[in-house]
């Protein structure tokens, strides 16, 4: 279920907050919107009990395919590919550096700082 709220002509500007797919279902008629002079409070009421760990729904791209017939290295490579594609610029730089270092034989010793 998508969620969006739009504010028109707030000191001459328009604002929009949108979540294309919420993590859990909500009960729209029970949700609340409170407008205060300097802020807006939006309360979403879930359809089911329990806590939300995140407002946004996320596909489970990070789960490895545990099918016994699949190649485990391919599963790890798919995981790294998903992390790279979905990551921010810092994540992309870190993965690219690690990949380059590993391919050139310059991989850092992970225990280097603990000796």
DSSP 8-state symbol, 24: S
Give the separation between CA 32 and CA 81, rounded to whole angstroms: 40
- Tell whether pTM > 0.75: no
Bridge partners (DSSP) listed for residue 7: 15
Give the separation between CA 100 and CA 109, rounded to whole angstroms: 15
Quote the pLDDT of residue 83: 75
pLDDT tens-place values along the chain, 115 residues long: 788 889 888 889 998 888 888 888 999 999 999 989 888 899 998 998 888 878 888 775 555 555 545 666 777 777 777 777 777 788 778 878 887 877 777 655 554 444 4
Q: What is the dihedral of CA 69, 74, 79, 84, to 10 degrees?
A: -160
Q: What is the DSSP string of 69-112?
A: TS-HHHHHHHHHHHHHHHS-HHHHHHHHHHHHHHHHT-PPPTTG
Quote the pLDDT of residue 86: 74
Quote the pLDDT of residue 32: 93
Residue 45 and residue 9 in contact, taking contact as beta carbons nearer than 8 Å: no
Count, in order, helices (H) and strands (E) of the chain.
Answer: 2, 4
């Amino acid at each position: 279920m998508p969620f969006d709220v739009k504010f028109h002509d707030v000191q001459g500007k328009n604002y929009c907050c949108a979540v294309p797919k919420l993590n859990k279902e909500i009960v729209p008629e029970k949700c609340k919107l409170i407008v205060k002079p300097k802020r807006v409070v939006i309360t979403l009421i879930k359809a089911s009990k329990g806590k939300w760990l995140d407002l946004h729904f996320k596909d489970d791209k990070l789960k490895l395919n545990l099918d016994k017939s699949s190649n485990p290295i391919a599963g790890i490579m798919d995981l790294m590919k998903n992390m790279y594609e979905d990551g921010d610029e810092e994540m992309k730089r870190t993965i690219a550096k690690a990949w380059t270092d590993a391919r050139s034989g310059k991989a850092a010793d992970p225990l280097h700082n603990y000796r």
